[in-house]
Amino acid sequence: MHPYYHPLFLQFIVYFNDNQDYFECHEVLEEYWKDQKNFSKDHPLTGYILMATGLYHWRRGNTAGASRTLTKAITRFHEMPVQFGDYLEEVAIDEIIMQLEHCLTRIKSGEDFHAFPLPISPELQVEAEKFKPLLALLPKNSASVIHKHMQRDRSDILLQREEKKKGSR
């Protein structure tokens, strides 16, 4: 299967381009990434995950985290292997890199958050649109989208942290 036509990647496109729900972008791509055989931090999907995470941070005002994360995303996109890189007609990687560099310039200049659409082929857009009715999309720029990580149940994460602290004592 073409990596850009995977159902989770198509959902990522809808979340990214339709309501800019970067938290959900991260969630669906992380699921797709962890499903890969021998997944690692060098996998091409991590560039997209880092991009979504960086944009999420920037919109919430965490410019230091956004700068760090977007810089890592640019590096991953530059290093994208043939597995994804030879499908440039589907996703314009060079344009993504240019947009991310523009974001970093805006962040350094103290400018406000600025979203951009994922540059994809018309064919890929058609496939992504098929998922739109299946997703519960929150309103773009709503507090529910911007502060999504604060609205989830984090009890399992907090429990893991406590267990880790106990083990290091």
Neighbouring CB atoms inside 10 A of 129's CB total 14
Partners of 120 in the beta sheet? 91
Predicted confidence (pLDDT) at residue 116 exceeds the cutoff of 90: yes
Residue range 65-108, pLDDT digits in tens: 999 999 999 999 998 865 555 455 789 999 999 999 999 999 99
DSSP-assigned states of every residue in 33-77: HHTSTT--TTSTHHHHHHHHHHHHHHHTT-HHHHHHHHHHHHHHH
Domain-wise residue ranges, the chain: 3-167
Neighbouring CB atoms inside 10 A of 139's CB total 10
Residue range 117-152, pLDDT digits in tens: 999 999 999 999 998 988 887 657 665 656 555 555
More confident residue, 164 or 25: 25
Distance CA 98, CA 112 (A): 18
* Residue-level pLDDT at 80: 80
* Residue-level pLDDT at 146: 67
Class of domain 3-167: mainly alpha
Residue range 11-61, pLDDT digits in tens: 999 999 988 999 999 999 999 999 888 778 888 889 999 999 999 999 999
Predicted confidence (pLDDT) at residue 8 exceeds the cutoff of 70: yes
Distance CA 43, CA 1 (A): 16
According to DSSP, residue 19 is labeled S
* Residue-level pLDDT at 19: 87
* Residue-level pLDDT at 143: 58
- State both tokens at 120: 């994809």
